Structures are given as C-alpha cells and as structure tokens.
Structure 1
Amino acid sequence: MDQRLSLVTLGVNDLDRARDFYVALGWEPGPSPEHIVFFQTGGMVVALWERMALAVDSGIEIDDEDDDTPGSGDVWGGKVLGLNVGSAGEVDEQMESAKAAGAEILRPACTRFWGGYSGVFTDPDGHVWEIAYNPYWTVTDDGQTLLGDGRG
C-alpha cells in the first residue's frame, strides 16, 4: 500500500449544510455524482456523504451502541483531520475563516508543547480539524506537507 492519504470521506447529517459550510471556508466543489460532494484539496480529495449511507457502505451498525463492529454506534470515531500551514499567522487566519463559516472552536490557536502553534475546531457534524504550524515540517508551495526531523 502506498504511504499517502488520497481521500477522506466525512459522514454528514445534512449534505447541503455540510457543503455550504465548506464553501463558506472558501472551498470549491468539484465534479460529483448525486448525493456526494467532492473537493479537490491539493493532491488529495475530501468527500462529504450522508452519514447513514457511509455507515452502510462501510459495514458499520450506527444504531447499535453495543455492536462489536469497529466504529459502530452514534459516537465520534476518533478521527482528527489536519491542515498544516506555513506560519502561526496562517493558523490564525484559517481559524478565523472556520469560525466565520460556523465552526465551533474547541481549542483556540496557541503555542503547543511540541514547539508549534495550532488550534482545533469542529464542523457542523462534529468532525474535528486541527490547523497547525509545525516549524520542523515543510509545507511546499503545492500544498504537500513534508515530515521534518521528528521534533514536532
């Protein structure tokens, strides 16, 4: 398997609301089939799909809190999506854009113990995002995030 991320699919409760949120962040929807929205995000894609359809497609029993299937139940599945940027100032700008679009700020941007600067928010469906500046990593002009020396 290639060591890269090429698609993140978010299960959403209201596809129109979710699309409107990401458009308010400044994202442009790409060509998409009915009932799903794709966004080209640099060298990868983010998809929005109705949560129950995604659950069924993934084999997750969302209505049964006691199901043994990994990821089952109507709870957060333990995912945090990250956006790395080139400076602390860019973190602040991205966090302000998210807030203006309707995000709930979980952790305002601040200096972090690992030497960087980051903030955390959720979108309208509770998906958690971290916007981060890591001084030990490189963010290329084409949006790639390159790991540094392991300090951050």
Structure 2
Amino acid sequence: MKPKIGLITLGVSDLKRSLEFYRDGLGLETYGSDPDSDVIFFALEGTWLALYPKESLAKEAGVSPNGEGFPGITLAHNAKSKAAVDEVFAEAIAAGAMAVKEPKDADWGGYSGYFADPDNFLWEVAYNPFIDLT
C-alpha cells in the first residue's frame, strides 16, 4: 500500500450546513461538485475532503449510523506559528465551530487548540516547533 491518505469522507447530518461551514466559513473551495449532488468534494494539498450524508455513508459501509461519544479520531491543520494557530482557530469559531480547547502551549512542546465542526468532528489546529508539517 502506498503510504498516503487519498480521501477523508465525513458523514454529516446536514449536507447544506456542513457545505456552508467548510466552503463559506473556512474558505475551502469545492471541486467538481454538483450542487444538487449528495456528495461535496474539496481539493486539499495532498489529499481530498468529502462531505456525504451520514446515513448514506453508514449504509454504504454496511454499519449502523448510530455512533456515540468520541470516535477515536481527530483531523488536524498544522500552522507555521502560534499566531497562525490563533488566526485559524478564530476563523473556525467565526464560521460556527464550537471551541473545545482554546489554543495554548501543549505538553508535547508545541501549541494547539481544538474545535468541533457542525457534526462534532474534532479538528486540532497546531504549531509544531520540531517538525514542519505545513
């Protein structure tokens, strides 16, 4: 297997609301998405992000859509500085994200904070002074 994640699909409860959050709030550009379709694609650097109705995604995977609690995964956006973390975090909150953990110095030596998108997917915004993950 090639060591690369090609696509991350988020099963969302309200496609229109999530589209507005990611496109209009965070400024991600849609790519090749028909506005009447039930899937939205965003081309990111090195991977893709897709939004798809949660019920449909669960049905496609053959699992129950009734999940609870922390799913054991977070998504991350890495920034070049502490100030950039603060800017991205503020942008997400202004777009309607819920602050989960305000950005601060982290135990591992970096700087990070967490927000939740409209479907409670956790995003970390982080600055890592040891390795450039931007």
Bin for the TM-score computed over the shorter chain: over 0.9
- For 2:86 and 2:53, the matched residues in 1 are separated by 30
Partner residue of 2:21?
Answer: 21
Q: 1:65 is matched with which residue?
A: none
**Structure possessing the higher radius of gyration over alpha carbons:** 1
- For 1:121, the equivalent position in structure 2 comes to 115
* 1:149 aligned partner: none
Q: Which residue of 1 aligns with 2:128?
A: 134
Q: Percent identity?
A: 40
Residues 74-106 of structure 1, C-alpha deviation per residue, up to 9 Å, x if partnerless? 224222001111111110000000000000000
Alignment length (residue pairs) = 130
Aligned letter for 2:4? R
Aligned to 1:67: none
Q: For residue 39 of structure 1, what is the aligned residue in structure 2?
A: 42
State the secondary structure of the residue aligned to 1:119. strand
Give the corresponding residue for 1:60: 63
TM-score between both structures, scaled by the size of structure 2 = 0.92
The CA deviation string for residues 13-61 of structure 1, in whole angstroms up to 9 with x for no partner, is: 0000000000111111111251100000111100000000011111111
Greater relative contact order (Cα < 8 A, sep 6+):
2
What is the root-mean-square deviation of aligned Cα atoms in Å? 1.1
Aligned-partner Cα distance in 2 for 1:57–1:115: 41
